[in-house]
Amino acid sequence: MPQLSDALKIGDIDIKNRIIMAPLTRMRSQQPGNIPYALNAEYYAQRAGAGLIISEATQISQQGQGYPGTPGIHSAEQVAGWKLVTDAVHKKGGKIVLQLWHVGRISHPSHQPGGGAPVAPSAIIAKNSSTFTADWKETPILEPRALETAELPGIVNDYKNAAQNAKDAGFDGVEVHGANGYLLDEFLQDGSNKRSDNYGGSVENRARLLLEVVDAVVSVWGKGRVGVRLSPYGTFNDMHDSDPKALFSYVLEQLSARGIAYVHVIEPRSSGAGRADVKVDEVPSTSELFRSSFKGTFISAGGYEAENAKKVVAKGHADAIAFGRYYISNPDLAQRVIEGKALTPYNRATFYGGTEVGYTDYPFA
């Protein structure tokens, strides 16, 4: 019976335990330039006891940015900044992959090149959703511009270039962010994708951009160092689909056929994506529903605590568990969970922006 403390081989990445640090947006990159720096390196190195660290979501291009203070991976300065982080994590014996991110419609003209409209598969506003302007003012989502078919190869190439930059920065692999209502998820789900070209309509067409991105990233890294994050049944950023089971079963089967290292699937019971502690009970378990559709390593995330994490791994519904918010307040979370030690509560007020407070000043057990 597998346990959280067991080692695991994820594709070509060997990890020391099955406790994963989930990607956590903290908005603390150095300005101007959205550049990781020494404080970020300290934060990640403190958490190197995780079997695998998945970095905070990192924009692949300026067009891909949606929030102030989030790091990029599209400039030489950003690559050098991330090298500080990967060196610090590796020095502590940890493994870290970079999450590749394009926010799509969840942006604001203040982040966009030339102040243009954010881009999306279709010109549909994300209702009851918000982001932040470049000067940290919360703002409702505006109507995005529908991408032209001819623009999509350029976006795929942005992902490929970002994957190469991540390699140059010393990461152990990359995760393609296909969840939480950002660009690739917007293409997947028919609530946000009303296109009539080869990227809209059927499940196969809506999955096309994600799969093209995965293929491009695999061409840089090899399949054994690439993962994908998905959020079936998630409602964050006004996401919905008419048949999530058919859609995500197809996507997972296609990813399985490509032999990528892992998929990282969010349980819909926890769909607030950091803005609030949202727990929804009347939803299916994505780990139970979709585990059989993917033959590689299956990482489950979303509202886990130590006991239910242990049970899910023991039952084989997931191979590893990603913890998010509790990794903010417990830099040694893996050790605490394995040894049954109490967890330090987190302070939501210090999640986004700032410096050391609520970032690198949480105690070790």
Q: Over the chain (365 residues), what is each successive 10-residue block's mean pLDDT?
A: 97 98 98 98 98 99 98 98 99 98 98 98 97 97 98 98 99 98 98 98 99 99 98 94 97 98 88 49 78 96 94 96 97 97 97 98 97
Break the chain into its structural domains and give their ranges. Answer: 8-350
Alpha carbons within 13 angstroms on the beta-carbon side of residue 320 total: 31
Beta partners for 145?
119
The pLDDT value given to residue 195: 98
Domain range 8-350, CATH architecture: Alpha-Beta Barrel (3.20)
Tokens of 89: 């994590």
Tell me the C-alpha to C-alpha distance, in Å, between residue 337 and each of 81, 218, 321, 342. 31, 33, 11, 8
**Cβ(95)–Cβ(171) below 8 Å:** no
pLDDT of res. 86: 99
Asked if 161 contacts 76 with a C-beta cutoff of 8 angstroms, the reply is no
Confidence at residue 274, expressed as pLDDT on a 0 to 100 scale? 46
pLDDT at 270: 54
pTM listed for this prediction: 0.96
Interatomic CA distance for residues 219 and 269, integer angstroms: 35
Strands (E), the chain: 8-10, 13-15, 19-21, 52-59, 96-101, 119-120, 130-132, 138-140, 145-146, 174-177, 226-230, 262-266, 297-301, 320-323
Residues identified as active-site: 182
Q: Quote the Cα angle for 87-329-91, to 5°.
A: 15
